[in-house]
Amino acid sequence: MKVINIGICGLGTVGYGSFSVLRNNSKEIARRVGAEVRVSHIGARRLRPGQDIGNVRKSSDVFAVVNDPDVHIVLELMGGTDAAKALVLQAIANGKHVVTANKALIAQHGSEIFAAAATRNVLVAYEASVAGGIPIIKAIREGLAGNRIQWLAGIINGTGNFILTEMREKGRAFAEVLKEAQELGYAEADPTFDIEGIDAAHKLTILAAIAFGIPLQFSKTYTEGISRLTQEDIRYADELGYRIKHLGISRKTPAGIELRVHPTLLAADSIIANVNGVMNAVMVNGDAVGSTLYYGAGAGAGPTASAVVADIIDVARMISHPESGVPSLAFRDDALSDAPILPMSDVVSAYYLRISAADRPGVLADITEILGDRGISIQAIIQKEPRGGDAEHRRVPVIILTREIREAVMDEAIARIEALDAVSERVMRIRVFKLDQ
């Protein structure tokens, strides 16, 4: 199998996160790409405590990675602009493809970098530069390509949203929450980028460019931060039925394109107003599709690495199979798995049961015995007071919420319950699905 070598420049939160995803998911990635994708060289001054790179070659000079003839794809994950720009241009000059998470670099120097890449016929991919793990670049550039985009608006800085959420929900102080965001690896090296809206402005610049087909124009983006917001503003907004969110907004108007980042009042029942913590969300409105919404973690090692690795896979597919591109079913045909599809009887779920039972002694005990005998644990039970009718024909609804059990066992229990004299109707069964499992 062909091998594609990755060189990582910068081993901070995102760098080590990307290294870990490439290592942990290497088999799955090879099935998608049709080649082995492996990290062959890392450029970092030093390893942080807990970082384990096995026997991968390490250089303290990141340019050693860029100049390594064996490296096919360079990951620029150092942040900052000057050194990062020099590194990326060198990688391009050396004929290497580049994947970066650096929004400041793309927003400020993207045009020059893309022009250089075009002359060398290499790719520069930057999905991770906006909204962490949300594939928003791909969605706008490819998924919505048939639309005239009218506007987009979003929470595109996780640190700022984390701060506003903690201030509103827990009454915590601004500075204390910012410190926590730094410890969690969400904040930029210079956290004023997060709280003064500069980071969001970098991201908005990129989104507007690909949405409206305009050059990258960071310097024209209106930018206002959240550092002047107080608990009082948050409480008054609440009283008025609003939430304060730090939004990036870009809208096409007959007079021109709006590019603005500022604290914004949003109706409390709108979807974006309820996006909390480090989560990001971007709404994009196109003339054909209407409004669409993209939601996910906007910062942190795993989510950002998810986007970095997706870009690596895109580039690696192009290197390994330029003639066939993205496989129709995402994985190479010869790498499809024969994992069995579970029959419904083997699915494990919790259940809501509504049983219409005769109003007589012992019925509830019969039902719970049937469940208990089969190891079906009851999580909650409601029996409503019977209403109307004569005592003999009166029915009482019994509602039971069970814990998880295999469907075949529940089928059998339901059949036994329906066979009871006291139960005359079919049992209503609704499966419970926990979204966080």
Looking at 119-127, 180-188, 260-268, 365-373, which segment touches ligand HSE (CB under 6 A)? 180-188
Residue 186 interacts with ligand HSE (CB under 6 A)? yes
The binder of ligand HSE chosen from 30, 155, 187, 273 (CB under 6 A): 187
| Nearer to ligand HSE (CB atom), residue 154 or residue 298 | 298
Rounded to a whole number of angstroms, the minimum distance from the CB of residue 101 to ligand HSE is 7
* Residue among 85, 96, 103, 203 flagged as catalytic: 203
Distance, CA of 277 to CA of 367 (rounded, Å)? 43
The binder of ligand HSE chosen from 13, 100, 159, 223 (CB under 6 A): 159
Looking at 33-41, 152-160, 284-292, 337-345, which segment touches ligand HSE (CB under 6 A)? 152-160
| Nearer to ligand HSE (CB atom), residue 77 or residue 92 | 77
Distance, CA of 11 to CA of 60 (rounded, Å)? 11
Is 138 annotated as catalytic?
no
Residue 199 interacts with ligand HSE (CB under 6 A)? yes
Distance, CA of 410 to CA of 345 (rounded, Å)? 9
Number of residues that bind ligand HSE (CB under 6 A): 11
| Nearer to ligand HSE (CB atom), residue 106 or residue 357 | 106
Per-residue contact track with ligand HSE, 104 to 143, x per CB under 6 A?
A: ----------------------------x-----------
Looking at 169-177, 184-192, 351-359, 373-381, which segment touches ligand HSE (CB under 6 A)? 184-192
Rounded to a whole number of angstroms, the minimum distance from the CB of residue 159 to ligand HSE is 3
Residue 349 interacts with ligand HSE (CB under 6 A)? no
| Nearer to ligand HSE (CB atom), residue 101 or residue 371 | 101
The binder of ligand HSE chosen from 299, 307, 371, 417 (CB under 6 A): 299
Looking at 63-71, 80-88, 185-193, 395-403, which segment touches ligand HSE (CB under 6 A)? 185-193
Residue 223 interacts with ligand HSE (CB under 6 A)? no
Q: Which residues are catalytic?
A: 203
Interface residue list for ligand HSE (CB under 6 A):
132, 157-159, 186-188, 194, 199, 298-299
